[in-house]
Amino acid sequence: MPGSDLPPAHLPMTADAVLARWPTGAWKRELVNGVLYFHGEFDERDVAAAERTYEGRHALINQANDLEVHPAAPGPPRSVLGPDTLEASARASDSKSQHPPPQENRGGQGGT
């Protein structure tokens, strides 16, 4: 249901509108340069729901599986994370998988 309390679709979102709207189940929500940013585990069903809730705006799920709702603009929306942030995140994930944390020695061998 579109609400008259929302800014026009082509304008950035406001903090007041963010605090009064869906999704309430998000772990955390932020307003980043006029883009609604919802932390959580989202999928394409959430994109469809977000675009119905925030009529005229464009939603996407970024590489972190978080949901972003962007002001209407020509072309597809670009994640607020940006390519530099996505590349750094990917490098950090690769580093963790290549260097797992050390295992704690619980055996009866060695030590006093």
What is d(CA 56, CA 44) in angstroms, rounded to the nearest whole number?
A: 17
pLDDT tens-digit map of 44-99: 888 998 998 889 999 999 999 899 999 998 888 899 998 755 444 445 445 545 55
| Residue 37 parent element (H or E) | strand 35-39
Which tokens is 106 given? 């619980």
What is d(CA 56, CA 10) in angstroms, rounded to the nearest whole number?
A: 8
What is d(CA 17, CA 51) in angstroms, rounded to the nearest whole number?
A: 15
pLDDT band at 103 (very low <50, low <70, confident <90, very high): low
